[in-house]
Amino acid sequence: MTKFIRRLQKIGSSILVSLPKEWIDANNLSKSTPVELETGQNSISITLTKGTEPSKEIIISYPLPKEENIVANITGAYLLGYDVINIKSKSTIPVGDREKIRGSLRRLVGMEIFEEDASNIRVQFLLDESTLSPEKILRRMSSIAFGMFNDILQGLLSDDKSNLQTLTHRDDEIDRQYFLLVRLIRSTMVDTRLASLFNLENIDILDYRIAANLLETAGDTIVELANSLAITSLSKTDLKKIYSITKDVETIHKKSIDAFIDNNRSLAIEAINLHRKYQQKSADMRSEQKMHAPIDFLDLIHLFERVERCWADIADLVKPVYK
């Protein structure tokens, strides 16, 4: 057995290592050839795969027709599960479009520019989908949204609302995780191996897609809340009134996510009951304040209801137990 020493290299956010040319030539390997990695406590082995489908590759010819958009094309190819995206042009790709391409890749987890010259950009998905987990991705989305909502609650009580300015960037991370989950779900629907690995039936895959969309919508609505709260002229008394009924929404969020992931119908019923109580409290407050409350007050109540509804809808996805 021949030993080689290699230094780890960083490309984008990924750590790579080059393989010995002798081994590559001896096994007739080339770019995009799939190999199997097996890790130990202090070791990693690379084995040639047998019968594995080649990486899915797509070519995007540049420039695009006027009605098309390079960012939308790249995002679409990513969501469809393409591992390699080749952007090829007969002339130089302008700097402006290169920046658009780089900007779109920052929204796509696992995609990195692998090769680039004046007229070609080759982008590759560097993650192994079998090592990902729909559950972990959904929990990460949930955790980010939970933290964002907590900051909104603190903003109702605090005079310092500067932290609300960070919520847009955190919502961008929810979007990144959302795209990754959609890609993984679509791959799982066409790859029975992944479905078996994640222990998901087709109905479960569909439910994950809906739950992820609800979390993504909640994140967008929380940003709307932050923007409204940052410029509101409501009194501290009004803001405390809103806080008094919205502080329990975090519990609905947590119970809904745990119920969905654990398929716990009892926990889902608890979340749904809390949702109904919140709806009643919110309706009562709107009714009490309707005649004399500022429009900002009613707008904030409405935005909180939209966020809470997203999380309650996730609890509704938990399947009843039929005898």
Domain regions of the chain by residue span: 9-48, 57-127, 132-316
Q: Coil, helix or strand for 123?
A: strand
CA distance 134 to 74: 22
Average pLDDT of the segment spanning 276-288: 90
pLDDT in tens, 266-275: 999 999 999 9
CA distance 266 to 320: 9
57-127 and 132-316 in the same fold: no
Report the candidate in 166, 290, 145, 172 with the shortest Cα–Cα distance to residue 226: 166
Query: Residue 29: pLDDT above 50?
Result: yes
The mean pLDDT value of the chain amounts to 89
pLDDT of 95 = 92
pLDDT of 1 = 64
Pick the CATH number of 132-316 from 3.50.50.60, 3.90.550.10, 1.20.1730.10, 1.20.58.220: 1.20.58.220
pLDDT in tens, 133-147: 999 999 999 999 999
Pick the CATH number of 57-127 from 3.30.110, 1.10.3470, 3.30.1380, 2.60.40: 3.30.110
Query: Residue 243: pLDDT above 60?
Result: yes
First to last CA, the chain: 60
